[in-house]
Structure 1
């Protein structure tokens, strides 16, 4: 039987060949005991292997004790850190690393954005720095979206997407008519031909496919197709200025029954507000030909679209707010009473004449607007406009409206005709200027 070099005597478990140092006190020498090799059960034939001299060296024993003590201290210190504190430290480290990464990425993107903007031939989106495109639009045979700020070469076929507000362009077809120099021709606007009250409105020839396919800026004498009319109406609603040529073309196109109905349907949800906006352009500051041009063209276009056009009248919302007739009446009151010398007298008269044209179209179209005008003064109000009118053209427009309103409100008085004194007074105001659209023999039902 094997024996152990320990002060306790023989091992109670002789069949276990391991050291007891793990269970001994650190200050005792019992932990230095080395297991004895078990060769056999016979004491005579067994040999005991004792510890070497190096294991019994006091310096080595001291180092071993110090190392064991150091490991124990480290383990105790690590156990003192609460688990939550360790998690917070890890999260703080992750946040610091993320912030540093974002800062570096933002700096890199800013440098790239500045480099792209330094290129005069490149434009970049304000929302996405990586979305850059050439400044010059490159047309193809297929319609392509025109990006913001891109420059268009002349002679392209351009379409306007009413749903999204985007513009599309492509190379013109070979069969399309060659466009001119692309300049804008400024021509004076003209109101539609006067039609007797209750008379039939004459239609206008529809544009040919070749004329509808023309590209480039809209000219005053262009025949507009439906997409072009909708585009111009959208620009009016969006308060985007129109050129003189575009206004003239739209005013001329409004003569057609279908085109007039399209214009009214495109404008009618905000027609009252639009009327207030254009009136404000000429009433809140001195009216001049320059700032009154858009208002004049707008009311002429609306009057042309509504004139003897039941479909356009039906498209209007009779209960829309703000109401259209009171806005127009207030505008006429303002411009016919303008103080002479403060602003352009002819500009005031032109705005008032365009508003009278629109009021006449509404009154002749539906009795709802007749009642609205009667509630605001009726024939007496219209007579006051006639007495305050400063131009012969405005006098004639007001006289025609007065005759039609009298025929609708008091038919018996209309049948009796106008007194000779009234006719003399009208001739004195009109003078030698004759209306090219109405002959002196036109009956009393002639309209604006």
Structure 2
């Protein structure tokens, strides 16, 4: 207890306990378990027992009332060969309790944390958390870990829960960053954020093969699964139940991917959007996010709306799906995954070299606001393939106005406030998106009935 500046490296053991002093309230400071070199790695195979009720219990790495702790490059919960569970009774890989500050969990392999119930009440039941964060404090970074994968990087040693922040163990901890991890193979969620936790940044992770989903934010009334967006993002729960982006389309040219959509949330706020590809959607129709593709930034207007078109410096095969998250800046609260859209492969056109417009001038709509029609004007400095589509604030394409080769010069098109089926659209905000070659422009239009 209350031991400072220790280093634990190169061991094979069942568990490590890094504790502050319960009696004095003093925090152990500056302790390190593992290190960057292969020889520094500890094989912490897991600790556990089964109580009289048949419930498994035991934590491989316990952090309680400590500060400036670093857990690096260890194998936690696995056998020494990394191919099986290290302990069939352990139910927690890394557990936080009490007040912990400035903890770094980096480049570890955390897997095989799956306690097996016994006896008449719990035989056949499974219990396990790869990482459980509870208690109070600030400044936790979980970065570069593989969580749920064996030594061959197969998602065969997942827990029931991947990373749990304050769901099963009450937490008021803040400033948590979970980034650049691969989280796979868990029976339920990859990451779960409890209803009272407000500041978990989830960035550039890759999720797959998790039974329920990649990210789940818990509402104040509890309950698991996708939480739908709400107007101006006024609801409460884990990470403020941050709204996710609404994707309209994703087109790959084999080297880059063009993504369009919209974001609705708190007015006049900044968001970082992250984009991911997967072979297929979850059964919910939303992500996981097996391959991280890139980011863009948007700022909502006074109505809480933003529209975006971004070109990502990565791509994925046609037939895969795209999903996205949104993080409120500078707070760092990340959403669940958005609904998926299919990735389509761009069809090349036989436009002569140099025919794509070098400049695109979008003159917008007039009048704006409008009822019943508005004239949309734009100018091309050269010939090229042009598309002009209308999207609603949910990011859904509601009307296609232009898709054809056009010559240089000014062009005008009238939109009558109807969708592709000829139905009158309701009053509200819409976005006209113009694409010519690799150039894209968007303008907001307001329809008043």
TM-score by length of 2: 0.28
Where is the helix percentage greater, Structure 1 or Structure 2? 1
TM-score by length of 1: 0.28
Where is the strand percentage greater, Structure 1 or Structure 2? 2
Larger Rg: 1
